[in-house]
Structures are given as C-alpha cells and as structure tokens.
Amino acid sequence: MSLTLKIDARPPRSKLVIEKSSFDDEKSRHRKNVEQHHFNHMVELFIPGCAELPPSIQAEFDRSDDYYLIKDVPLTELINQDFIENFIKKGSFYMLSHNTHIDKHNAYAVLPTGQLILSVHKDTYEELGLVGQPSQFNRKVKRKFVVEVDLTQDIFVPGKKNYERVKQGLQRTELKADFLLSWKPEGNRQLAGSILSHFQSSYKCERHSQVQQTTRHTELLLPVVNSTELEESEEGEWCTAREWYEWLGAVCCGISCNEAPEHYISRYCCPDPNEVTAAAVRHSMTGFIPPGKVWTLQEAVRSYMRESKSPSPWAALTVHGFVDSPVSWARREHGFHHGGENLYTFLIFRDSTYWLFQAVGTNDFCP
Amino acid sequence: MAENKDQDLLYQPLPQYVSGEKEKLGLQELSCPKDKFVESFLDRQIQNFKPSEKKELKKSYLLLDLPYRQKPTVAKKKTTLNSKEKKAKKVYDIPPEHQKYPLYIPLHNLWLQYIKDLLQVTPTSNLTMLQKKMLKADLHGALVTVCKSRCPSYVGLTGIILQERKHVFKIITKDDKLKTVPKANSVFSVEFEGLRAKIYGNHFCLRSARRANKKFKLPMTNQTIDL
C-alpha cells in the first residue's frame, strides 16, 4: 500500500498592510489600532542612535502591570452574575485561555467590550447548544465554530431565557481552561488585586510580571528611509517600506546583516542605501500585555521622539499578538495555520508622522 | 313462447329435405370424436400446423342460445381510511387543547412499567441483550433529552415522546409545547431504571413498526456516530 501525502505547495498567504499617517491627523487610527488589538504577547522597542534606553521610556516599561494565571476555571464561573457586575462591567477586562492551541483545542477569550468568545470544536459545539458561526477558515469541512456571548447585555441576568441556556450549555459540556487575566478598574477606587481575591478562594492563582530583556547593538547598518515616501525613489535615495520591514525583522531575530553576501549561513544584507549608527538598543517585554500598557508606551516613545535632543532618526515599536488568540483585531477571527502571527509595528518619526505595518498570517483577515 | 320455439329449432334434427338427400350433398356422420375431427381438419388445411399450437386450441364450445354473462362484482365494504384521507381528517394531529404536559404523565408511567417488564433489569443482566431489546422497544411515552445535535437550538430539549414517525419524534415539553425534532443529526438520551440509553438518530430513521422487525447488525461496522 502506498501512502500519498498531499502537500500544499502554495506558500502561506501572509498579508502585510502598510499605512502612512501622522499622529496629529484627526482621522488617524493609531489609537484604535492599539486598543482593538486585545491580546498582546510581546512588545519590542527598537531605538537606533542611543546606547541605553531613555530613562522616561524605561520607567514606563518598569511600571508594574501584573497579570494573573488562574488554573482550571470552569466557564460557568465567567457568567457568574457577581463576577460580571463587579469586574467585567467595571473596568477593562482581558481574559484569554492559556495553553490552548487554537487549531487543536477549544479556545476562549473575554474582550473588554464584554464579549465572551468561544472558539470550539464541532463535537463541543453540537453539545453546547449555543448558536454560533462556522469558522471562516475551514468552511467546507466545518471543524470549528465561533460562539459569541455578550456578557454585558442588560438582559443577560439569571432567570432570563438566554442566560439560562448559556448556563445549561456550559454546565453540560463542563468546559474548563487555564486563563490569563488582566484587569484595570475604572478610576482608582478599587485595587486591581481584588480580582485575585475573587478567584483565590476556589482556584489556583499565580501572579506574574512581564519579562523584560534588553539587547544592545553596535556599529549597525541602518537603512535610510524617507518618512514621506513608502515606495522606492527613482535615484535610489532611500529604501522602500517593505525592505525596511524585512530588515527590522532580521535585526529582531538576531540575524547579522553586516555579513558579506556570500556568507555561508545568511546571505541577507542591509538594503541600500544605508548608514552606520554607533549604537542601537532593542528592548522587549514578554507576557500578557493589555493594550492600555502599549498605549502608554507609545505615548512615551512619541514624547521622547519630540524632544529635540534625541539622537535617533526614528523608533520602531512592534507588538506581537498571541498566536492562539481566537481574535486578532477587534472581533475579527484569527486562526493558526502555519504561524498564527498577528503583529503590528509603529515606525515613529521625529515629525510625529508614523508608518503602521500590520502583518497577519494565512488564517486571518486583512486588518 | 316464440323464444322457446327458436331454442327448440336449434337442437332439432336436420330437416327432412336435407337429411333425405344426404348422399347427394356428401354429408355423413362423424366417425371420430368431435375434437379430433377439428384437429385433423386443421392439419389438413393449415400448412406447418405445429403440435404446440394444437395444445393452445381452446376446447370449449360456444352455446348459441345461452350467451356468457359476467358475474356482477360485489363491492367490498371499506373499513379503513387511506393515508390521504387520514391526513385530510387530521387523525394523527394532536389538537392544541390536548397539548398539556400533565396529561401525558400517566403515559410516561405506563411506559416505565412497560420497559421494566420488557427489560427485566437485574444487576447481572447482560448489557448487549438489553441493548437488543431496547432497540426494538416502543418509545411512545419515554422521557427523552436531546443531548447532541447538529442544530444547536434542539440541544437540551426534554419531553415525553407522543409520536414517532419515520424521520421525527414529536415531543411534548414541560412548558406544554409540542416540538417536532428530526431524528437525523441528533443524539437522544433516554433514562429508565437508573440506566441511560443513547439513541443515535442517524441510525434510527425507521418507522417504529419496521424497527421492531429490522435486524440491526451489531457491532455496526462502516458506520459512524459522528453527526
């Protein structure tokens, strides 16, 4: 018996969206972009021209914004009335199932808008009894289904038909998961830690801080970019946006770009034209990062760039989303396929213009 | 009387003026039986007269005076309605005033008794035997729950089966609603005697009478319980 292996020879259909705008523009959607990308795994800041991270930005990185890992939480806990009233409705609440692979397991997420997103398998869906949509990425063979439950609706209270149905469905299927959780209360009257005490009595909870890492580069070749022009110039005075982004990816992955083109391991070299910078710093933070934190970081970088004494021509802030998150931006469905990448990069120039790169993998919608 | 006279004429011997001149006309009495004569006559007259055709000759004689009369058929008295009439008269429909859950609790109790008598569950009873019996059991009056379905809105429906058709169950729920649930693409669970049976609807799309006679092959090969 011969085994024929069907190999999809096509390359994965990744998408990259590049846009150019200014922070001062009223129609600029930079804030929306940051806030709608709910689940961020890593933030990486690359500043050329300085050997150390500027203290104002370092302080922003160091400001504690802990997240919690709660183990074996049944989903019925999430529709608990007290829980909805005290936490989900009061503040920005982010919750994502941990160690669940979106292409293999059921994955769950609670968005700050109050939606509970269940990305469940066919068998679970049939038993759950809640109406959802088949996943956009395998429409022919319906393997996955996405169910959305709006937790903050006024009529979503015990005794109502919809609530009871959701409750029964979750009880019947006994869905359970580990959750990553981050909560920032509205105003400062309540402490963010109070959410921990809510779960501590019945479940195993862990408190985590984001892990930070700094890498310093010396004598790095920087491609020259022109903040007003994304495309190539006729005389070759600057690099295109795509070339720059490829270069940034290479630098972030630690690929040496100064090698000769015939080097054995990597033939990649910095695109032309380029210039040498004496030092550059790359700082990353890994963990469960709420968009609010990304936003404050971005503000810090912008104010640093506005300062006249800053030696850097630009700064790049890259944010990677969770590969196994059921949503990428807002409520757009996200899948894994080959890599599950969903990330965006702000290339911030000194004159408050920016380039926004949004990159997604195959199983994702164009942002 | 004229008719009688005619009939008599038929069976009278030949008239005097014919029989008197028999020899002149060449008439003579048959020396053999009549049917043999017909055969030999046909033999003589028809070329290639096959013996098989000989057998097909109808050996009956038409009577000239008594023509064949068909017997008048007596119409059978109709006792049942056909399905079209049943449908028109809504025989099997349950009127809204009878769609009350408490009305059918006695039916459910009756069913529990019936299933108890049928299965005779003891702690040592063989599960495969129970399974076979359960396959042929009548389900009218059983309390079923839809535990899995391709259509999510059926999941969790609980009620007493009032009717079982080829493709659907008609179920009355606790809030007095008559629901029609398709058997296909659903899994039902029935509880009785402290046991729970699961009915995979895809393999159950039969009329209950047909199901009682059908031989289910166990274990089911090449069949999936996937919906």
Q: What is the CATH classification number for the domain harbouring B122?
A: 2.30.30.210
Structure tokens that stand for B44 in this block: 């003589």
Residue B209 lies in a domain: yes
User: pLDDT digits over A210-240, tens only?
Assistant: 999 999 988 888 888 888 888 877 777 888 8
Per-residue pLDDT tens over the stretch B44-103: 888 777 777 777 776 666 667 766 677 888 888 888 888 899 889 988 888 999 899 999
* Residue whose token pair is 């922070």: A23
Query: Does residue B22 lie within any of the structural domains?
Result: no
Q: Locate the chain A residue with the closest alpha carbon to B225.
A: A123
Within-domain flag for B74? no
Q: In what order do the strands lie in the sheet with A353-360?
A: A15-22, A353-360, A342-349, A314-321, A40-48, A274-289, A211-223
C-alpha dihedral (A242, A248, A250, A256), degrees to nearest 10: 120
Judging contacts by C-beta atoms under 8 Å, the chain A residues touching residue B227 are 126
Indicate the residue type of A105: H
Is B184 in CB contact (< 8 Å) with chain A? no
Domain hosting B173: range is 95-213
B150 touches chain A (CB under 8 A): yes
| Closest chain A C-alpha to B124 CA, distance in angstroms | 30
pLDDT at A340 exceeding the cut of 70: yes
Chain B residues closer than 8 Å to A164 by CB: none
Question: Which residues neighbour B62 within 8 Å (Cβ) at sequence distance 6 or greater?
Answer: none
Summarised one tens digit per residue, pLDDT across range A286-299 is: 999 999 999 999 99
pLDDT for A190: 64
Residues of A in contact with B148 (CB under 8 A): 126-127
Residue A192 pLDDT class (50, 70, 90 cuts)? low
Helix or strand run (H / E) with residue A218: strand A211-223
Residues of A with CB under 8 A from a CB of B: 125-132, 165, 168-169, 172
Place of tokens 């439950």: A149
Q: What local confidence, expressed as pLDDT, does residue A366 receive?
A: 77
Q: Do residue B152 and residue A172 have CB atoms under 8 angstroms apart?
A: no
Instruction: Let me know: does B194 contact B173? Beta carbons within 8 Å.
Output: no
E strand or H helix that includes residue B89: helix B83-89
Query: Of A126, A165, A172, which is closest to B149 when you measure between CB atoms?
Result: A126
**Do A130 and B227 lie within an 8 Å CB cutoff?**
no
Chain A residues within an 8 Å CB radius of B153: 129, 131
Q: Is residue B72 part of a domain?
A: no
* Structural tokens at position B129: 């035997």
Helix ranges restricted to H, chain A: 30-36, 55-62, 81-83, 122-128, 161-173, 194-200, 241-252, 291-306
Rounded to a whole number of angstroms, the distance from the CA of B151 to the nearest CA of chain A is 7
Cβ-defined contact of A165 to B152 (cutoff 8 Å): no
Which residue of chain B has the CA closest to A131?
Answer: B152
Closest among B170, B164, B179, B176 to B209, alpha carbons compared: B164
Q: Tens of pLDDT along A19-74? A: 899 988 888 888 899 999 999 999 999 998 888 888 888 998 888 778 889 999 99
First to last CA, chain A: 46
Phi first, then psi: give them for residue A100, nearest 5 degrees: -115, 120
Give pLDDT, residue B1.
45
**Residue B173 domain flag:** yes
Closest residue, chain A, to B185 (C-alpha): A126
Chain B residues within an 8 Å CB radius of A129: 149, 152-156
Which residues on A lie below 8 Å from B154 (Cβ)? Answer: 129
Q: pLDDT tens digits for chain B (227 residues)? A: 445 555 667 777 777 887 777 777 777 777 777 777 877 888 888 877 777 777 777 666 666 776 667 788 888 888 888 889 988 998 888 899 989 999 999 999 999 999 999 888 888 888 888 888 888 889 999 999 999 999 999 999 999 999 998 999 999 999 999 999 999 899 999 988 888 889 988 888 888 888 888 887 766 666 777 87
pTM equals 0.77
Q: Tokens 């203290």 map to which residue?
A: A55
B152 occurs within a structural domain: yes
In the predicted structure, residue A338 carries a pLDDT above the cut 90: no
Contact status of B174 with chain A (Cβ, < 8 Å): no
ipTM value > 0.85: no
Strands of the B143-149 sheet, one edge to the other: B178-182, B168-173, B158-164, B143-149, B186-192, B195-200
Angle CA A309–A313–A314, to nearest 5: 110
Residue B140 lies in a domain: yes
Residues of A in contact with B149 (CB under 8 A): 126, 129
Q: Work out how many domains chain B is built from and give that number.
A: 1
Of the listed ranges A51-55, A138-142, A214-218, A343-347, the one predicted with least confidence: A138-142
Q: Is position B192 within any domain?
A: yes
Cα distance from N-terminal residue to C-terminal residue, chain B: 87
B147 touches chain A (CB under 8 A): yes
- What is the C-alpha separation between A286 and B136, in angstroms, rounded? 62
Whether B152 has its CB under 8 Å from any CB of chain A: the answer is yes
CB < 8 Å to B156, chain A? 129, 165, 168-169, 172
